[in-house]
Structure 1
């Protein structure tokens, strides 16, 4: 271990948890395993190994298998069925089997029960945890009277929003109560957003605080960029011209829809390369890729600099916008919770599974209750589905791997609330066009880290609560949004322990979103946990050491959630020329197949809680109307 590693605290005995696609991994080597399988000595043939069944307390994610995606990968590569043996029936029969215990799968089961309260439902998931990406990371710092709770993966962070009628209907039916966010805490302490212009981008480093009181000319004067770039940044923010004179508003929208934000700045505005370096991570945490892939029209909708002189009507959305950008014109119904969208997951499961929680606002859960035979709804974790098909008698057979063998159950219907790209490997006989459409749903990878720190006085000293890095490994770091809920109270004193969130989207720059996601996923799989920890410690030290932060002393626990298949893809110009007019791949992919319907946010598609709920409603309606 290098001297710098020791200084950063890499050798300190702290709590460390690492998750790949939601499943805990003890070391980087375990990410290449196959759940329930290990290679026999001297051969490539897998053998069965026992599972662990210890349920995670308080919804802390603790994996019971080496790798949740190993079975799907084995199916994809043709390595599963040669060694799996003959499927064995369990004798279990259900009204509905749901594949996937994320928000879409749980919503499917919940809506089905609203239609048929007496139904028996089985939910199968390859992870050892419910909720998909809607996870909660729980910390228990010494001296605090209760845990610290932080979101563990959902892109909405400490809140989730619904826009459509399906999402609103679900929240009304659940009677879900929002927590109380304190949006004034950080600004009241003089803490604002910032941009860290790092050495990876500019060869030297400087933190710029973007307080509302500071005009763009003041903070732009601090940027470590060329003088021409500094003038151009001021112009983009404070007084851009009409870059497309002579074009009508529809013509301008169509022109912007055909280029990326980086392309607009480079080819239309003619900016200095330092400007492109400054903006390249602006959309990363929200969209899953950088300015080189974000559509220029979406950038306009998000309020990015450079568009004010075009005279576009901000009173209405353009038809070319992605769903994420279009949502800015809609009135959301937003729920705030310390664990983000995990609150929705816990409430749905509590309503469906007797004994899982004793109250709607419970913070401790009984995982032993999830798969009790007497329950009308059973949730079976660490059970990756490997087959699903329509029977001649109008029923459906679903097979899953229990760590030792393939077991089958029968149901009147099934909903595939799993990744669309996996479904063609599970269902034989799908039409060719539907299989092809499903394989276009290439999810975007994302890494989310939660870091418990001794206090947050260094953030106060530097005057920031959230910061974007322009080119370093982690692209965003922020203090958790303070949300009070029930008896839970977030830290309000800078001397209290707190949680820092860091985000990285490893999509490779210079490629379209799908290709960049695939390349980034390969990079993510090769990246060991030690490097992830080292890089976050090193970046936090660069950011906060001038205010007295010592990572070896002040970092007390780390959780890293690596979502190789993270954000659902969103249709956006210029990458999807069929949008918004032509039939989309998602419309083809979500067609029912006999008594099997398709859900997951891929079926909309959009990387939002709202999309997952909408997909679930559509799937249930397709099977029950």
Structure 2
């Protein structure tokens, strides 16, 4: 059988892969800075960490000092992962040399410049305006997963601003108190963002959600448009599935029976809590395999894994006219969640509209607003209306004399209390500057980084905490942002979003209309626009944690050219009948690779040994260790921006107030 991801050379030319565009990674994901390359071309270095060979025809960004404009693979690149991987594989310290003190001393050192790390610094400075703070990060931009991508179309058009990771504020009315506090202090009003968006734009143009039944799943490819209000029998009739599968789908979306007759509501929910959605459909409902193939990617965009790992009880909670059918006959009360639902589902159950609020650049706007308030000269505008169109000077982030300094491309390699954890009054943090290990001292340290890395950085953690931190396995993700010449083909096809049933990229969609301040999103199909594609590399058939580990290895080994080929191929298959020509219409591509993406929250059926009635591992993992506190959304865990903020507030309180725990909101209860 032919590998569906294999590149066909002739087709690659037809798709325009021989044409220079402004965002192509010529390094297949292995470009590294000189210092990092030197450090990781050590004996035993794996393929990803090998030193690069720079091609003669390398296209450089017009402004290499401004990270959002940089070309190529972004996010968790080889440069950002090389030192963490060397630490993980125990091949860093034998070659690193003795750490050299910088002589710097701070009130607080924060490890990680994402939402949680910047929130911790912002909160600390609010309590202690005279404090000196250093923030260290292994990436080349602030924001962590909240990454901004920029494009500059031809013909004098203004820049297109897009998100490359953390996309939006989900259900802001249900945010934690800490998250709402930060938004209020930054002057962010979610309801105003919702009012300024063009949520009805695509619908007014006759463009809707769709499902693309692809050749990776079915013998015949077919696009099915899910027009709102269109009855299930009508769109089910268009699916290229076996006749028995069609009957099964009609039953599931129509009048399914009570699959658990004689059981109480609590017993039915407990039964669902022991099943995945695919397990429910296959083992309980006995549906045709084509039904399982059709639903496989339904949860992928939101949760990072497919229906074979997504809990049936959460599928019941998310059921609507087009998703997660089959539960109507159970007679369960939908006015309230089940105690078996995942924490975010419970937290957002009664949240009102708007469901999603966002800046054009996603949640990096929040990060930039915090940084601008703490670092003089970083931005020309730090308010919600002006942050998107402001100018930013990255050269001031690590300026001597600033009370708050941000040191990028500086992976932390060690953190230790200055003395026994119980009596220490400070800590020392080591980081790699591209040539050697440097150390700084601090009165307190907040680890706002990937929690699974912390055991490699702190040597004397208690065994139980060490083990709990190692369980914080993030879900890998790929976010691609594609600059298009126009979006006429999308309108001709009558779609704004498509879910693929089995191809590499599970979702392709036009950018959500989002205006703010002086920024105006494209509103006419003949205008340039950005489209977003999402891929979820989690290996199917196992738990989300095991699938994430296996999927991450496969993702890191995937060359960039394969990713670009898939983007061009899938967009052509989806939009070709509408006149789309990848070679002509794709003007730029950025792939944001998040090998360590979502923080997966606890959910059934995988965590029934402690959820919902036991003590979660994160409660042990996030314990303060002397003068070192732990933040990041991993410590909640939940893949929401407000979770990252709440974790930061907790860590600050633990270092400034003491071990007494404040109220941490519903996610940490």
Output the TM-score relative to the length of structure 1.
0.94
CA contact (8 A) 1:150 1:158 kept: no
- 1:529 counterpart residue number: 560
- 1:349 counterpart residue number: 371
Q: 1:158 to 1:538 in 2, by over 3 A?
A: farther
- 1:168 counterpart residue number: 180
- How do 1:544-555 residues align onto structure 2 when only pairs under 5 Å count? 544-555=575-586
CA contact (8 A) 2:426 2:627 kept: yes
**For 1:335 and 1:196, how far apart are their aligned partners in 2?**
27
Is residue 2:210 matched to residue 1:198? Answer: no
C-alpha displacement at 1:321, in angstroms? 1.0
1:305 to 319, 325, 335: 325
Is residue 2:649 matched to residue 1:614? Answer: no
Q: 1:222 to 1:30 in 2, by over 3 A?
A: same
Q: Which string of whole-angstrom CA distances, capped at 9 and with x for unpartnered residues, describes residues 478-513 of structure 1?
A: 000010011100000001111110000000110110
- 1:151 counterpart residue number: 163
User: What residue ranges of structure 1 are gaps of 5+ in the alignment?
Assistant: 19-24
CA contact (8 A) 2:174 2:348 kept: no
**For 2:425 and 2:42, how far apart are their aligned partners in 1?**
45
CA contact (8 A) 2:484 2:530 kept: yes
- 1:292 counterpart residue number: 308
**For 2:36 and 2:569, how far apart are their aligned partners in 1?**
34
Is residue 2:359 matched to residue 1:337? Answer: yes
- 1:37 counterpart residue number: 38
CA contact (8 A) 2:110 2:117 kept: yes
- 1:460 counterpart residue number: 491
Q: 1:55 to 1:622 in 2, by over 3 A?
A: farther
Q: 1:158 to 1:604 in 2, by over 3 A?
A: closer
C-alpha displacement at 1:453, in angstroms? 0.7
C-alpha displacement at 1:190, in angstroms? 0.7
**For 2:377 and 2:167, how far apart are their aligned partners in 1?**
29
C-alpha displacement at 1:325, in angstroms? 2.4
C-alpha displacement at 1:143, in angstroms? 2.6
What secondary structure sits across from 1:94 in the alignment? strand
**For 2:460 and 2:312, how far apart are their aligned partners in 1?**
40
Is residue 2:596 matched to residue 1:580? Answer: no
User: What residue ranges of structure 2 are gaps of 5+ in the alignment?
Assistant: 1-7, 53-59, 658-669
- 2:69 counterpart residue number: 60
C-alpha displacement at 1:186, in angstroms? 0.5
**For 2:101 and 2:293, how far apart are their aligned partners in 1?**
58
Is residue 2:481 matched to residue 1:450? Answer: yes
2:99 to 50, 70, 87: 87
**For 2:40 and 2:633, how far apart are their aligned partners in 1?**
35
2:288 to 272, 280, 289: 272
Residue-pair matches, total:
617
C-alpha displacement at 1:514, in angstroms? 0.6
C-alpha displacement at 1:267, in angstroms? 0.9
What secondary structure sits across from 1:450 in the alignment? strand
What secondary structure sits across from 1:213 in the alignment? coil
What secondary structure sits across from 1:586 in the alignment? helix
CA contact (8 A) 2:171 2:348 kept: no
Is residue 2:332 matched to residue 1:325? Answer: no
Q: 1:602 to 1:33 in 2, by over 3 A?
A: farther
**For 1:40 and 1:441, how far apart are their aligned partners in 2?**
28
**For 1:316 and 1:531, how far apart are their aligned partners in 2?**
45
CA contact (8 A) 2:340 2:604 kept: yes
2:635 to 603, 615, 618: 603
With 28-37 and 564-573 compared, the bigger mean Cα shift is at 28-37
**For 2:36 and 2:344, how far apart are their aligned partners in 1?**
35
1:411 to 442, 448, 464: 442
Q: CA RMSD in A?
A: 2.5
- 1:22 counterpart residue number: none
Q: 1:259 to 1:32 in 2, by over 3 A?
A: farther
Q: 1:386 to 1:380 in 2, by over 3 A?
A: same
**For 1:606 and 1:244, how far apart are their aligned partners in 2?**
31
**For 1:137 and 1:608, how far apart are their aligned partners in 2?**
20
CA contact (8 A) 2:67 2:141 kept: no
- 2:664 counterpart residue number: none
**For 1:47 and 1:88, how far apart are their aligned partners in 2?**
26
**For 2:601 and 2:216, how far apart are their aligned partners in 1?**
29
